[in-house]
Chain A
């Protein structure tokens, strides 16, 4: 029963988020840049369901548009990190030797850097960061975890009998990796990717909150930044923006847990 509840919440949030990211901009009652100075910072009401922010911009519309940016950055960062990290990790474990040292050494080198500072430093020379810049800035810290998972799994899988047997039968490395190693990597990677989506969405929000986001109008983090500036007088802006970010991140984390319970039966008892 408890598991069912967790499932419904995490998966529910992810589903709603996906719908909003796809259809949000069409559902939005206003444009996220529509200025209405007579209605600045109004509380949630019938005409503005979630109230308004700076310059009378409708908060619901910013949230609906912002989901697309968050989703776009999240999916791109996770997809590229997943592919690069997995390839690097598998190559390191399968080839071993110098390549392994180089890849693990590089991954270890990322550890001392605070992610927020690393992301900002990557954008140090960019005058006006766009979506692509944001994605680029999130990649150096993104790929590492996939490389670690893929490497650790490949190391044990490589010694399994069926892989040894395949090799003895003269299968090519490519075939062994694609048919026998990669399928066994898929579930831990999928679990990681699900919660990483939440993490990447949070990273986008954080960068936008710090003022590095693209197009300040339609980002959750930028909305939270505006809300923090007027926190003491109009708390609803920060509460709604931050709540949206927190629920989304929680949703993706719970969906990742749910996926782990589904895909890895061992984890059910241990937690």
Chain B
């Protein structure tokens, strides 16, 4: 391994670690600046002063903020992320662990759908600029951005579930993999629109590079130039955008899980919000944000290995 590469990896690791620390701190602060009192939220306004005081002590809320922060760090450090207010015998991380696989599966499917639409459509649009396909791609991008997930979900149910009866309806039992298609489309459409634009722009740039012209001049077949010479190089910036979309995937999952009545991190998070189960709310946000940081770190590392130019920057 070259010195440049190891320095690149070390900087990225260091920065990711700093970001994780920042993310933990920010989650702690955000939930504390939220207007309202967790004790009111848990006990309601009927509780006596003693009950409130006891609850306050039990939740460490009577201590100074720095001490509360240390308790929070301890909960993060031992991996439990604290205890749920509504289910005190369960740690937050075990509650999250139960539902996370379902959400990750949905997220992966959504990303797969987004890439399967965006990469071919974006590439064709770039190769055949101004053609019918380019028009279709632009129309799709506009549609994907304008039609919000909160509406797309119900629309898909009406069309594919009710009218065509091809796919299961929300709440149907034992749906298997078919039950994932509509939720994944709901999450993936907006991602696909943005990725498609990015692919089109990156492909257009690469297609005008000298090495692509040189390949064409040497008589390399048209499709081979596009697939081997252009697409491979255009994929790097697209990968970066794809990794940055991970936050959007989780936002979409909250919506899709509600619309399609799926159990997952999104529904756990929303239910915890309505039950004022603060540790679960902050735990879910934390897990998602740290996942984002880690995935982006991996993408950056791959990027650094594949493309030596980025190590210098």
Contact = CB atoms under 8 A, between A and B. Distances in A.
A66 B215 CA distance: 58
Contacts of A136: 35
B30 A140 contact: yes
Interface in B39-61: 40-41
Contacts of B19: 108-109, 112
Given A126-B35, A140-B30, A113 B157 contact: no
Contact of B273 (A105, A120, A205, A246): A120
Interface string A228-271: 10011001001101110111011001000000000000000000
Contacts of A99: none
B247 A121 contact: no
A118 interface: yes
A115 B151 CA distance: 18
Contact of B278 (A116, A124, A238): A124
Interface residues of B, number: 54
* Overall SS of chain B's interface: helix
B269 A113 contact: no
B82 to A, nearest CB: 14
Given A113-B247, A122-B30, A127-B40, A253 B285 contact: no
Interface of A: 105, 108-109, 111-118, 120-127, 133, 136, 140, 202, 205-206, 209-212, 221, 224, 227-228, 231-232, 235, 238-239, 241-243, 245-247, 249-250, 253
Interface of B: 19, 22-23, 26-27, 30-31, 34-38, 40-41, 142, 145-148, 150-151, 153-155, 157-158, 162, 169, 244, 247-251, 254-255, 258-259, 269-270, 273-274, 276, 278, 281-282, 284-285, 288-290, 292-293, 296
15 contacts: A108-B19, A114-B249, A117-B285, A121-B281, A121-B282, A123-B273, A202-B148, A206-B150, A212-B273, A235-B158, A242-B151, A242-B154, A242-B155, A245-B148, A249-B146
